[in-house]
Amino acid sequence: MTATLPSSAGAFSPAANASQLHELKLSDVIQTIPKSCFEKDWRKAWFSVLVTLLSVAAGIGAIAIVPWYLLPFAWFFAGTAATGLFVVGHDCGHRSFAKRRWVNNWVGHIMMMPLIYPFHCWRILHDHHHVHTNKLHVDNAWEPWTVEAFQAAPQWLQKGYRLLRGSFWWVGSIAHWAVLHFRVSNFAERDRRAVKTSIAVVLAFAAVFFPTMYFTLGLWGIVKFWLMPWLGYHFWMSTFTIVHHTIPEIQFRPVAQWSAVPAQLAGTVHCTYPKWVEVLCHDINVHVPHHLSVGIPSYNLRRAHQSLMSNWGEHIHIRQFSWQLMAQITRQCHLYDEVNAYRSFQSLR
């Protein structure tokens, strides 16, 4: 999925009710977003890189100097800053960072290397998610299992799924990363050369980075300066992605019932977070315009969101991050229900 500009056709009149969304094309909604939102600005793009690198450096510096009892705060800040590495790579994967593909590929690989994310593997899998958002049995991001699939799974797998859908949601992205991104057979033959290149890049980085860390700082140095911030990054990676598409009101649809506009416009959540988190994470939480068009760079998402709220606001789900929100998601949104969207594990008793 590459970055494209909207059609030059006149603005489509927004739908009056939710049932009409199924009759619309994505282009009908996209053309209501100002064209300026799709324009790349190399200064803003590279400024986001600078902000992230300085923030990560500040986080690592804090880890090095703070007393032990402040380490959890330093780790969490560094992990949040490291999420910015992913978001810049995310723009590169969607070709919305730079106009030249080779720049996107190089910057994407470099920014994702410290996270041990193989760039092209993630890019291809993530494009699949965008094309098939909230499509049952097809989407690869936080798709709820059916009751039948859950009950047919072995006990150990049921327990793992319960944990990831419950109080251990924050390691969900680690499971996704480990299971999907390094298996070449998950990718089409045409993509395997790029996939192997990205896997080789992160393995080469790891082969140099971790032994160097071990021989200079020891095992505790790896834990202190890399593992704990990496876990902090995955807290945000898991939290952002589960909140993006998982609330009791959002329904996954079977292929025969699925259509793009309800999935991308009304099946995606706009959630606000503390301002410092949004700044360090380059507005990755402003997610509805991104799902309508990946051609919108991260620094233009807020302007695009304001336009969507003016034209389509009645269809957009708005939430504010809180532990109450996470409790609602992790206590209710467990298994697919064709009528009520989700049912809980408790309902199986």
User: With pLDDT > 70 as the criterion, what percentage of the chain qualifies?
Assistant: 95
Q: What is the mean pLDDT of residues 256-264?
A: 94
Structure confidence at residue 16 (pLDDT) = 42
Structure confidence at residue 5 (pLDDT) = 41
- CA 178 vs CA 108, 128, 174, 203, 205: distances in Å: 19, 17, 6, 13, 17
Residues 300-342: pLDDT tens digits? 999 999 999 999 999 999 999 999 999 999 999 999 999 999 9
- Name the pLDDT band for 349 (thresholds 50, 70, 90): confident
Residues 28-72: pLDDT tens digits? 999 999 999 999 999 999 999 999 999 999 999 999 999 999 999
* Phi-psi category of residue 116: left, alpha or beta, with phi > 0 → left and psi -120 to 50 → alpha: left
- CA 291 vs CA 62, 113, 286: distances in Å: 35, 25, 10
Closest CA to 142 of 266, 235, 269, 244: 244
Tell me the average pLDDT of the chain: 94
CB contact at 8 A, 109 and 201: yes
Amino acid type, 66:
V
Using a 10 angstrom Cβ sphere, with 0-12 exposed, 13-18 middle and 19 or more buried, the burial of residue 119 is buried
Longest dimension (CA), the chain: 64
